[in-house]
Structure 1
Amino acid sequence: MAKKILVLGGAHIDRRGRIFGETAPGASNPGAWFEEPGGGGFNAARNLARLGFDVRLISPRGGDAAGEMVADAARNAGVDDKPFVFLDRKTPSYTAILEHDGNLVIALADMELYKLFVPRRLAIRAIRDAFAATDLILCDANLPAETLAAIATRAADCGKPLAAIAISPAKVVRLKPSLAGIDHLFLNEAEAVALTESRPDDPRHWVAGLRSLGLKGGVITRGKRELIAFSGDNAISLQPPIVDEVADVTGAGDSLAAGVLAALLAGHDLGEAVRYGAAAAAITVQSPFATAENLSPELLKATLALVPEAAILS
Structure 2
Amino acid sequence: MMKKILVLGGAHIDRRGRISGETAPGASNPGTWFEEPGGGGFNAARNLARLGFHVTMISPRGGDPFGEMVGEAADFAGIDDRPFVFLDRKTPSYTAIIEKTGDLVIALADMDLYRFFVPRRLSIRWVREAFAAHDCILVDANLPEETITAIVAKAHSLDKPVVAIAISPAKVVRLKPSIKDIEYLFLNEAEATALVGQQPQDAAGWAPLLKAIGIRSAVVTRGQRELVAIREGCVATLQPPVADAVADVTGAGDSLAAGTLAALITGLPLEEAVRYGAAAAALTVQSRHAVNENLTADGLNEALALVPVARILH
Question: Same fold by TM-score, threshold 0.5 exceeded?
Answer: yes
Shift of 1:4: 0.1
Match of 1:294 in 2: 294
| 2:70 is equivalent to residue 70 of structure 1 | yes
For residue 98 of structure 1, what is the amino acid of its counterpart?
Answer: I
Q: Which whole-Å CA distance do the structure 1 matches of 2:102 and 2:213 have between them?
A: 33
| Structure 2 residue aligned with 1:173 | 173
- Superposed, 1:60-139 pairs within 5 Å as 60-139=60-139
Q: Which residue pairs with 1:200 in the alignment?
A: 200
Give, as a single letter, the amino acid of the residue that structure 1 aligns with 2:144: P
Q: Distance in 2 between matches of 1:112 and 1:313?
A: 42
1:164 alignment counterpart: 164
Give the equivalent residue in structure 2 for 1:212.
212
Q: Which amino acid aligns with 1:39?
A: G
Partners of 2:232 and 2:13 in 1: CA distance: 36
Shift of 1:139: 0.3
* Superposition RMSD in Å: 0.6
| Counterpart AA for 1:53 | F
Partners of 1:271 and 1:214 in 2: CA distance: 20
Question: 1:76 is paired with a residue of what secondary structure?
Answer: helix
Following superposition of structure 1 onto structure 2, how do residues 234-245 of structure 1 map, counting pairs within 5 Å? Answer: 234-245=234-245
Give every structure 1 segment of 4 or more consecutive aligned residues whose post-TM-superposition deviation is greater than 3 Å.
none
Deviations 1:171-214 (A, max 9, x none): 00111111001010000000001000011112211111111111
Alignment correspondent of 1:247: 247
- Letter of the structure 2 residue corresponding to residue 57 of structure 1: M
Distance in 2 (alpha carbons) for counterparts of 1:308 and 1:203 = 17
Distance (whole Å) between structure 2 residues aligned to residue 271 and residue 199 of structure 1 = 22
Cα distance, 1:30 vs structure 2: 0.2
Quote how far apart the aligned CAs of 1:267 are.
1.1
SS at match of 2:242: coil
Q: CA deviation at 1:14?
A: 0.1
- The C-alpha deviation readout for 1:107-142, integer Å capped at 9, x for no partner, is 110000000000000111111111111111000000
Aligned to 2:203, the other structure's residue is in SS state coil
Q: Partners of 2:74 and 2:232 in 1: how far apart?
A: 34
How much has 1:242 moved relative to structure 2? Answer: 1.4
Ranges in structure 1 where 5+ consecutive residues have no aligned partner? none
How far residue 233 of structure 1 moved from its aligned partner, in angstroms, is 2.0
Letter in 2 for 1:75: D
Paired with 2:17 and 2:297, the residues of 1 have a C-alpha distance of 31
d(CA) in 1 for partners of 2:208, 2:132: 33
Distance in 2, matches of 1:231 and 1:153, equals 21
3-state secondary structure, aligned to 1:43: helix
How far has the Cα of 1:244 moved from its partner? Answer: 1.4
Distance in 1 between residues matched to 2:269 and 2:210, nearest whole Å: 20
Aligned positions, number: 314
CA distance, structure 1, for counterparts of residue 124 and residue 8 of structure 2: 14
Q: Kindly state the Cα deviation for residue 273 of structure 1 after the two structures are TM-superposed.
A: 0.2
Opposite residue 14 of structure 2, the aligned amino acid is D
- The match for 1:154 is 154
Task: Give secondary structure in 2 for the equivalent of 1:57.
Answer: strand
1:249-264 equivalences in 2 (<5 Å): 249-264=249-264
Question: What's 2:144 paired with?
Answer: 144
* CA distance in structure 2 between the aligned counterparts of 1:75 and 1:272, rounded to whole angstroms: 31
Distance in 2 of aligned mates of 1:80 and 1:29:
40
What is the alpha-carbon distance in structure 2 between the residues aligned to residue 293 and residue 250 of structure 1?
Answer: 14
TM-score, length-normalised on structure 2?
0.99
> Aligned partner of 1:144: which letter?
P
Letter in 1 for 2:93: S
2:276 is matched with 276
- In 2: Cα distance, 1:210 partner to 1:155 partner: 22
Structure 1 position 230, deviation (Å): 1.0
Q: Percent identity?
A: 68
Normalised to the residue count of structure 1, the TM-score between the two structures is: 0.99
